Structure 1
Amino acid sequence: MRKNILLAGFLLTCLGGFAQHDAKARAILDKMAASYQQAGAVSIRFGGTQDGTLKVKGNKFYLNCGGIETWFDGTTQWSYVKQNDEVNVSEPSPEEVQSVNPYALVNSYKQGFNYRYAGTKSHKGKQGEEVTLTPETEQDVKSITINVSSASQPQYICITLQNGEKQEFYVQSYQTKQNLNDSAFRFDRSKYPDAEIIDLR
């Protein structure tokens, strides 16, 4: 489950000084963030370390990855673990949301990260401009590499942990302007009638 959360803590929040921030990298990240903000509700299919789907609308998201389904409606988070047939209900902090929602990374470079431009690189035949982010304070994540397409969309992310383990995320499908009702980001009890509810709030 932890590996799943860290992977999903993939795709990107900077109040500190910018002395260690590369101007070219910042321009790429700013353009990516602006493109994402204009995309409206987004539906993403990805592969890599784990396959999954992600739907995002504002600060709400739904993630299905590694046998775990997670819904977040902006306040409450439900995580359904298929193997145990149980749902953990919580009210996560902004930091905890970032660790679960891959696309929280789209804005996370603005707070708590240094970043540098790593050149033009290709992953699985898709070429883009690459930026490496490193946390300003020590944490489980050692670095995050993000490859951005010419359309300013994240197309590859690699999270490297302090122990050297890498989790890779390849965007296979990126659909914008999706018509997603708010109910898509809330757990529907009627679809999981036998699941055990564990309220952690």
Structure 2
Amino acid sequence: MSLSETPFGVAKIQHRKGLKRLCDFALALITLPITLPMMLMIAVAIRVGSGGPALMRLSCLGLNGRVFRQYRFRVIRGDLSAADLLHANAADAGHLTPLGAVLLSTGLNLLPQVLNVLWGDMSFIGPRAVAVAATDRREKPDNRLLAVRPGIVTPDAFHPAGQSLSESERMALSLAYVRCAGACTDGRLVLQSAARIFRRRS
């Protein structure tokens, strides 16, 4: 029997999750005075530049498989739906708006997910959220990924290999993260990533 299967292990895991949720909530509140004006400006720019809704709502599976609406800024044409973001060739097919291309390249399209963090649907760092629409086209997701809240920033973003990682490698990193998810793990990932960037610049 492993430690996680004992009452002591369960208590340790719950404490870790509780501390992480507290840190996420506090950080969301602290950053909201900065991010909210930015979100309002971007929303106005999208409405003026391309018309249509500024936000896209994607149904995703969260903690314990609970379905929630993940928010992000619309980066594709107004005649397309959030499900179109699931297509790998969405950008190549010319679906992106000019402003959407900028938002996507800078990651600012994910800024509304700070609200998802505030409401408890997501975390700042965690595995990639599983879209409900994606589960209709393939096998059900690994239940281990649903043991924690999905993140705005995923564990593979901290890996030195970056975008060159394969899908199986990204999944392995997510599962490794789930096994030790918590505020301390997040802090260690951020510090390691910052140190790596500093060494490169030096």
TM-score normalised according to structure 2 size: 0.27
Based on CA coordinates, which of the two structures has the bigger radius of gyration?
2
**Relative contact order: is structure 1 or structure 2 higher (C-alpha 8 Å, sep ≥ 6)?**
1
Where is the strand percentage greater, Structure 1 or Structure 2?
Answer: 1
TM-score normalised according to structure 1 size: 0.27
